[in-house]
């Protein structure tokens, strides 16, 4: 393929995007380099592009200048220099992608070689998805341009401070497909919130990282409320007032009678009948007390049956609440998780 035909292909490749990009280019030298390239004047485009690189350029314009230089070198068959220019370009814009159907094979080849010579994490993609926690995963895709140790983490989360979840740590090269099961070590789903998935590649002293934010939301969980009572079962009073009886007076009679019988039975015949004054006083007091206590409302006494019933009811409620707690844990762990792009905040309408 001749240089002229190659230049024509390059022109086709970059013409449409260049037209749009030329309008956005602020730097005059870069704009002239772009125009020179569009006019197939590659040497002039090359010299103007290099001149633009010596000027103060914003990041995007610097990347664009390297692109013009790279394409110009490729058109002029200086492949190694084209590779160098493309390396600088992808370091500035790692996501830059060339369409092999629309650029010259030389330029695409140089671009492909450049990609293999720098460590990049490109095309990090996390698809929106929805699944039940524990039964699905978040797909994470990216490309690593060189064999490297790649550590993938998810950082952030809801309340309780930032969390750091290790998704994967392996040696990768090329296209990588990972899946992250967003669960805590205890099986619970990760808290709802915004997470940043960070992919960090390391090769010797070279490191490169890419990140993307995602938002994890929880579906509604219908947990069961704890019980404070069982339907149809009520706590019973643990004391009861016994019915009024003649028992106090009867006891007073019994004890006083015992003392009287004992006194009469043990009196010495030789000493004559003893005085009953003392027994009359004390026995009378006992009988009066017994009569008064008979008339009074008896003191409440523990209702053993009710106490036992309440204890059984309490144990039954506690046992049921333990089951409910286990059920709720399972329900919370099986919450519906939805993963999508983060909410845009503060954007003008």
Partner 1 sequence: MNRGGGMPVAMVLLGLVGWPARAGAQHLMVGPQAVLVDYREVSSGLRYSGSGFGGVATGRHGKLSAAASVVRLTLDPTDQSTAGAGFKATQLDAWVGYDVASYASVEVGIIRRTADPEFAAQSLGALRVGARSTYDLGPGATVSFRANYLVAPKFSGGGRASFSIDLGLGLDVRLAGRLHGVVDYAFERVNRKTNPGGTGEIDAPIQQTLARLGLGIRF
Q: Which residues contribute to the site for partner 1 (CB under 8 A)?
A: 248, 251-252, 255-256, 258-259, 262-263, 266-268, 270-272, 274-279, 281-283, 285-286, 289-290, 292-294, 296, 298-299
Helix axes of 59-75 and 105-117: crossing angle, nearest 10 degrees: 130
Smallest separation (angstroms) from partner 1 to the CB of 277: 6
Q: Report, in Å, the least distance between residue 242 CB and partner 1.
A: 11
Residue 303 CB, shortest distance to partner 1, in Å, is: 17
**CB of residue 297 to partner 1, shortest distance in Å:** 9
Alpha-carbon span 333 to 233, nearest angstrom: 32
Q: Which two tokens stand for residue 117?
A: 């010579």
User: If DSSP codes are grouped into helix, strand and coil, which group holds residue 346?
Assistant: coil
Segments of the chain assigned E as strands? 121-126, 129-132, 138-156, 163-180, 193-203, 206-218, 239-240, 301-302, 336-340
Report the C-alpha gap between 114 and 82 in whole angstroms.
Answer: 9
Residue closer to partner 1 (CB basis): 118 or 293: 293
Which run of H or of E encompasses 87? Answer: helix 79-92
Residue number with CB closer to partner 1 (4 or 272)? 272
How far CA 33 is from CA of 45, 267, 299, in Å, comes to 4, 143, 108
Nearer residue to partner 1 within complex by CB, 110 or 286: 286
Please say which residue, 266 or 347, places its beta carbon nearer to partner 1.
Answer: 266
3-state class (DSSP) for residue 133 = coil
28 vs 285 by CB, closer to partner 1: 285
Compute CA distances 106 → 16, 98, 109, 117, whole Å. 19, 12, 5, 17
Nearest distance from C-beta of residue 301 to partner 1, angstroms: 10
Q: How far is the CB of 240 from partner 1 (least distance, A)?
A: 15
93 versus 240: smaller Cβ distance to partner 1: 240
């Amino acid at each position: 393929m001749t240089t002229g035909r190659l230049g024509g292909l390059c022109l086709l490749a970059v013409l449409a995007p260049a037209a749009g990009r030329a309008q956005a280019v602020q730097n005059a030298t870069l704009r002239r380099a772009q125009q020179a390239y569009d006019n197939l004047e590659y040497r002039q485009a090359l010299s103007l592009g290099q001149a633009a690189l010596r000027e103060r350029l914003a990041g995007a314009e610097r990347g664009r200048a390297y692109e013009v230089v790279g394409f110009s070198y490729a058109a002029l068959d200086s492949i190694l220099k084209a590779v160098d220019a493309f390396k600088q370009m992808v370091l500035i814009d790692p996501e830059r992608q060339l369409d092999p159907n629309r650029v010259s094979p030389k330029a695409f080849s140089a671009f492909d070689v450049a990609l293999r010579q720098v460590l990049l994490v490109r095309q990090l993609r996390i698809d929106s998805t929805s699944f039940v926690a524990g039964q699905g995963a978040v797909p994470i895709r990216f490309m690593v341009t060189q064999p490297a140790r790649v550590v993938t983490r998810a950082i952030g989360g809801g309340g309780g401070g930032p969390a750091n979840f290790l998704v994967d740590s392996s040696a990768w090269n090329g296209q990588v497909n990972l899946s992250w099961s967003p669960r805590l070590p205890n099986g619970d789903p990760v808290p709802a919130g915004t997470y940043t998935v960070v992919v960090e590649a390391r090769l010797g002293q070279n490191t490169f990282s890419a990140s993307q934010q995602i938002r994890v939301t929880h579906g509604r969980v219908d947990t069961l409320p704890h019980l404070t009572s069982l339907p149809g079962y009520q706590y019973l009073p643990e004391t009861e007032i016994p019915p009024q009886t003649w028992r106090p007076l009867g006891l007073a009679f019994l004890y006083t009678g015992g003392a009287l019988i004992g006194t009469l039975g043990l009196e010495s015949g030789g000493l004559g009948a003893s005085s009953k004054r003392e027994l009359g006083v004390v026995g009378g007091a006992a009988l009066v007390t017994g009569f008064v206590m008979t008339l009074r409302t008896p003191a409440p006494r523990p209702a053993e049956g009710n106490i036992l019933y309440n204890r059984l009811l309490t144990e039954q409620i506690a046992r049921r609440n333990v089951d409910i707690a286990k059920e709720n844990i399972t329900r919370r762990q099986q919450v519906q998780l939805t993963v999508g792009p983060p909410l845009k905040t503060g954007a003008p309408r």
